[in-house]
Amino acid sequence: MTVALLEPGPDDHHFMVWTPTGVAKLAVEAGPRNYEYRTVPQGALNHRTSFQPRGKGLGGSSSINGMVYIRGHRNDYDRWARLGCAGWSYEDVLPYFRRAESNELRARAREPVSRRGRPAVRERPAHAESL
């Protein structure tokens, strides 16, 4: 199967895209990788407009984002399950989070962890016992 991907922006082979701190430049400055949207005046902002960066080009907004990784909130998943999404409770999806993460806490516990190219979990959160 061949898929044609039409993009108005450039490809993502650029060191500013691969660098986490690149967000400081790519997200706020004019350039070919950012749509640089502005909202219409917002009543809740005293009728000011708001800058809304969005990625343009292969990779979309992930080409200009901060590369911060966080699991979704437990309550959201549990709510989806209560609404009828079988298999979407937090306990259901937790094994998939763990499989996708390179979790140093679990590495120390000699549990199998993923490595290269996976989000690294390094900090010990307040609720680490549930990890």
Ligand X SMILES: Cc1cc2nc3c(=O)[nH]c(=O)nc-3n(C[C@H](O)[C@H](O)[C@H](O)COP(=O)(O)OP(=O)(O)OC[C@H]3O[C@@H](n4cnc5c(N)ncnc54)[C@H](O)[C@@H]3O)c2cc1C
Residues that bind ligand X (CB under 6 A): 6-9, 23, 27, 53-57, 60-62, 64-68
Q: Shortest gap between Cβ of 36 and ligand X (angstroms)?
A: 10
H-helix or E-strand containing 27?
A: none
Residue closer to ligand X, measured from CB, 27 or 113: 27
Which residue, among 35, 39, 29, has the nearest Cα to 60 in the 3D structure?
Answer: 35
Residue closer to ligand X, measured from CB, 18 or 111: 18
Residue closer to ligand X, measured from CB, 65 or 102: 65
- Determine the angle formed by the axes of helices 74-82 and 90-100, rounding to 10 degrees: 130
Q: Shortest gap between Cβ of 100 and ligand X (angstroms)?
A: 13
CA distance linking residue 114 with residue 98, whole number of Å: 9
Residue closer to ligand X, measured from CB, 68 or 86: 68
Do 81 and 72 meet the contact criterion of CB atoms below 8 Å apart?
Answer: no
Task: Using CB positions, name the residue nearest to ligand X.
Answer: 60
